[in-house]
Amino acid sequence: MPQDRKPPTLPRRLGLISTTSVLVGVVIGSGIFRVPALVAAQVGSVGGTALVWVLGAAVTLAGALTLAELCSAYPQAGGSYAFLREAWGPQVAFLFGWAKLLITGPAGVAAVCLVFSSYAGTFVPLSDTGQRLLAGALLVGLSLANVWSVSWTAAIQNLSTGAKVLALTALAVLLLIFGNPSGGSLAAPLSWSASSWGGFGVALIAVLWTYVGWVDVTYIAGEVVNPQRTFPRAMAAGLAIVMVVYLLANVAYLYVLPASAVASSSVVAASAAERVFGAAGRTSVALLVMLSTFGSLNGTLLTSPRIFFAMAQDGLFFRSVAAVHPRYRTPHVAVLVLMGLGLIGLATNTFEQLADLFVLGIWPFYALAVGSVFMLRRRYPKHADPPIYRVWGYPFIPAGFLLVSTALLVNGAVMRPAQSAISLGLLLLGIPVYHAWRLWRAKALLARDVV
């Protein structure tokens, strides 16, 4: 596989620790504090809930190990965008960026900001408008920090990731040590059934939303030092940390809360801590959630703008978006584009609507990105120089991911027809936009040449 389509214009400054921290920091955001309730409500049994989380971890690991190979072969800005362009052509890559512009960019950023501001209400009473204003202020502040310095935002990411992993692990351990299991979900005999297969699939969508940062880390491929070695290690280490923390947190919630309480609480972590430690527990969890979502948002602002940057480099977006700040060496315009999209998302949707739109809108491209490994291995069968990482278990690991992804999308269309229709409609709208853009670009270049 060829390693470079064009020379990178952003300096490589991110090592193994920073890359791993970005992955863990983006993944562990707001989801683990809210999604367990959505999963329990959809599945209806403790054993079934556990199966959903385990399956979500397995699907994520299969996809991440595959994309680690592609990051080794194509260490370019935009990550998955570059894989899609090389395997499926510029139109599919454009539609991926289009999905980020209209669906997943605003949805992902806004959802995390809303969770931060909702937990801030624990300390200062905030109306719905007040929560959205606080969320917007957080988004603007971190966006400007990402414009200022990659090294600075990477340092913030390392510190916030380490702090929240330790804090969330400590919370789970303390709940298990001091909690009373007699009133918890694990006191009764475990049931492994699900209320319906459709509900199981919807729950899986929610679980996968809590893991989506494993793809986001590919977007900084053009800025990672020694990507052939760094990405496989960062993917494996980062996801191992996330999976242990997620499973431990779920066990702790179920240990102290009855199943009905888990399913009905929109702040399940706070409910569990309050049951064991009273008001102090709820306050501590609020601080933990705010720390977690802060780090996740910072990581998203570090990664996602690189998609718009790469699109602009290819002439599929406004050229100004490919600008690199002359002093800070950051894609400052691309960062500000994502900030603007996030502010729009904050003004229009609730957390649950944002989460559904995010997964249903972006997952087809995750499947295509993983499927790129089949196309590119046939096209470029020889190992690169230097040798690249090869996904273990090929072709079964990526094939398994594609199989589950197909089932997930079909089930999402059946169980969430409105959200699926909105996502599909916005994606299809990108096709005429792509052709109109190419035509406009061709005419602009022709006019420039004539002059």
What is the number of residues in the chain? Answer: 451
**pLDDT at residue 399, as a whole number:** 94
Q: What percent of the chain has pLDDT over 90?
A: 31
Q: Note whether residue 447 is domain-resident.
A: no
pLDDT at 4: 46
Ramachandran angles phi, psi of 14, nearest 5°: -105, 120
- Residue ranges of alpha helices (H) inside 278-350 are 279-303, 305-313, 332-346
Task: Give 183's DSSP letter.
Answer: G
Is the pLDDT score of 447 beyond 80?
Answer: no
Q: Are 135 and 116 in contact (CB under 8 A)?
A: yes
**Neighbour count for residue 361 (Cβ, 10 Å):** 25
Q: What is the reported pLDDT for 5? A: 47
Q: What is the mean pLDDT of residues 304-329?
A: 90
Instruction: Quote the number of domains for the chain.
Output: 1
Average the pLDDT over 425-440 and give the result.
88
In a domain, 11, yes or no: no
Is it the case that residue 352 has pLDDT exceeding 60? no
Return the structure tokens found at 311.
């699109």
b/e per residue 71-99 (b: at least 16 CB within 10 A): bbbbbbbbbbbbbbbbbbebbbbbbbbbb
Return the pLDDT at 8. Answer: 45
With a cut of 60, say whether residue 3 has pLDDT above it: no
Residue 205, pLDDT score: 80
Q: What is the pLDDT of residue 359?
A: 62
**Tell me, what amino acid is at 110?**
A
Q: Residue 84: its pLDDT value, please?
A: 93
- Residue 163's CB is within 10 A of a number of other CB atoms, namely 15
Instruction: Judge whether 10 lies within some domain.
Output: no
DSSP output for 366-412: HHHHHHHHHHHHHHS-SPPSSPPP--TTTTHHHHHHHHHHHHHHHHH
In a domain, 433, yes or no: no
**Residue 187 predicted with pLDDT over 80:** no
The neighbour count for residue 424, using CB atoms within 10 Å, is: 15
What confidence tens digit (pLDDT) does each residue in 100-141 have?
Answer: 877 777 777 887 888 888 888 888 888 888 988 999 999 999
Taking the C-alpha atoms of residue 414 and residue 421, their distance in angstroms, rounded to an integer, is 10
Per-residue tokens: 252:
């702790």
Structural domain contains residue 420: no
* Residue 14 DSSP SS3: strand
Q: Provide the total of helices (H) and of strands (E) in the chain, helices listed first.
A: 19, 0
pLDDT of residue 244: 92
> Can you give the pLDDT at residue 351?
52
**pLDDT of 309 higher than 90:** yes
Higher pLDDT, residue 83 or 349 = 83
- Of 99-108, 193-202, 283-292, the range with the highest mean pLDDT is 283-292
Higher pLDDT, 12 or 205: 12
- Measure the CA–CA gap between 236 and 149, rounded to whole angstroms: 27
Query: Burial level of 264, CB count in 10 A (0-12/13-18/19+)?
Result: middle
CATH number (domain holding residue 34):
1.20.1740.10
Q: Which pLDDT score, from 0 to 100, does residue 92 have?
A: 94
Q: Give the model's pLDDT for residue 7.
A: 44
pLDDT above 90 for 199? no
| Average pLDDT of span 428-432 | 90
- Mean pLDDT, range 402-415, rounded to an integer: 83
Residue 387: per-residue pLDDT: 62
- Of 100, 73, 42, the C-alpha closest to 263 is 42
Range of the domain at 264: 16-415
CA pair distance 228, 4, nearest whole angstrom: 13
Average pLDDT of the residues of the chain: 85
Q: What are the residues whose beta carbons fall under 8 Å from the beta carbon of 432, sequence distance 6 or more?
A: none
211: confidence class by pLDDT, cuts 50, 70, 90: confident
Give pLDDT, residue 358.
60
Residues 50/53/55/56 CA torsion (nearest 10 deg):
170
Residue 51 lies in a domain: yes
What does the pLDDT read at residue 360?
Answer: 64
Domain annotation covers residue 388? yes
pLDDT digits (tens, 9 = 90+) for 165-186: 999 999 999 999 999 888 888 8
Helix (H, G, I), strand (E, B) or coil at 224: strand
Q: Is residue 440 part of a domain?
A: no
